[in-house]
Amino acid sequence: MGGILARILDSGQAASQHPTVTSKKDYYEVLGVPRSADAKDLKAAYRKLARKHHPDVNPGNKASEEKFKEISEAFAVLSDPDKRAKYDRGGHEAFEPGFDPFQGVQFDFGDLGLSDLFELFGGGRSRGGGGSRRPGRGQDLQLEMSLPFADAVHGTTVETTIPRGSMQDRVKVRIPPGIEDGGRVRIPGKGLPGRGGGPAGDAYVNIRVEPHPLFRREGHDLLCDVPIGIARAILGGEVEVPTLDGKATIKLPGGTRSGQRFRLKGRGVPQHGGRGAGDLYAVVQIVTPKSLDGRSRELIEEFARLNPGA
């Protein structure tokens, strides 16, 4: 790969000794991008062309080697803001004789330099046999999982398949108690394989908690509506309340109002680190009868006469 870089740099020096800049193709045409192309467009165009014309992909093909030099020079100028601005103002003639388009260019693609260019475009060994991949960490994977409300509160272990290229891994995933909708679980080392012997990435399972027909969540607390009749609200008494672990009983005082909350301590969502759990709140909802028999209506009317404003 070093020999290829040397030939590219030598071509720049040769051009400076025998300048014929006016005969060069427009750099934007060389890369096949409009003059409005941004840095991302330039890099994408260069990657595509460099992969196609790289000498290691076309051994012995002088035309491809020259094309590779041409696109490398175009990218070297247009990827540099100062050189690009100068080129946009005056074209090839804007540069002095002896101009080296590769001066200061490192062809940086994240953690890859020019010496790793071929590996970036598809891997393999260089023609000299001495090229090697720089180890790099594999990419992380993002997975989606739908979870029942109760499982999210109590925690559970589920089995899922993690697609890793040509591999299909079946793994068990431990869901911690109290995970919220939108939370995620990390599975170390189950992402895509690393480059050049580097470590694999991680897999992240993004959790979507299914709604519950009875319960809703506020932080580590649970809320549940408890319907009661008018008589129970006025007189008070014991009422059954559903929980995620079965039924519980609460005692209502006389004169309970609609919307009033009654706490069941520790019957909510577990907190991280074994710090206990939130509470369950029974929210009273007074339900009026849809129809009354004659006697019941008489009693209600008498009650209204005895308790004005009730």
Q: What is the pLDDT of residue 103?
A: 63
pLDDT above 90: percentage of residues in the chain:
41
Residue 13 has pLDDT above 60, yes or no: no
pLDDT tens, position by position, 71-93: 888 898 898 888 898 888 888 88
> Considering the domain 141-209, what is its CATH architecture?
Sandwich (2.60)
Q: What is the 3-state secondary structure (H, E, C) of the chain?
A: CHHHHHHHHHHHHHHHHCCCHHHCCCHHHHHCCCCCCCHHHHHHHHHHHHHHHCCCCCCCCHHHHHHHHHHHHHHHHHCCHHHHHHHHHHHHHHCCCCCCCCCCCCCCECCECHHHHHHHCCCCCCCCCCCCCCCECCCCEEEEEEECHHHHHHCEEEEEEEEECCEEEEEEEEECCCCCCCCEEEECCCCCCCECCCCCCCEEEEEEECCCCCEEEECCEEEEEEEECHHHHHHCEEEEEEECCEEEEEEECCCCCCCCEEEECCCCCECHHHCCECCEEEEEEECCCCCCCHHHHHHHHHHHHHCCCC
Residue 20 has pLDDT above 60, yes or no: no
* pLDDT confidence tier of residue 267, bands split at 50, 70 and 90: very high
Q: What is the pLDDT of residue 102?
A: 64
Q: What is the pLDDT of residue 95?
A: 78
Across the chain, what does the average pLDDT equal? 81
Residue 256 has pLDDT above 70, yes or no: yes
Residue of 109 and 255 predicted with greater confidence: 255
pLDDT tens, position by position, 128-162: 444 445 788 888 888 999 999 999 999 999 998 88
Residue of 1 and 95 predicted with greater confidence: 95
pLDDT tens, position by position, 184-207: 999 999 988 888 888 989 999 999
pLDDT above 70: percentage of residues in the chain:
79
Does the fold of domain 215-306 match that of domain 2-120? no
**Structural domain spans, the chain:** 2-120, 141-209, 215-306
Residue 32 has pLDDT above 80, yes or no: yes
* pLDDT confidence tier of residue 18, bands split at 50, 70 and 90: very low
pTM given for the model: 0.54
Q: What is the pLDDT of residue 23?
A: 63
Please compute the mean of the pLDDT values over residues 27-40 and round it to a whole number: 92
Please compute the mean of the pLDDT values over residues 208-232 and round it to a whole number: 95
2-6, 30-34, 96-100, 188-192 — which is least confidently predicted?
2-6
**215-306: what fold?**
HSP40/DNAj peptide-binding domain (2.60.260)
Q: What is the pLDDT of residue 53?
A: 82
Query: Is domain 2-120 classified as CATH 3.40.50.1100?
Result: no
Q: What is the pLDDT of residue 17?
A: 43
Q: What is the pLDDT of residue 139?
A: 87
pLDDT tens, position by position, 282-295: 999 999 888 889 89
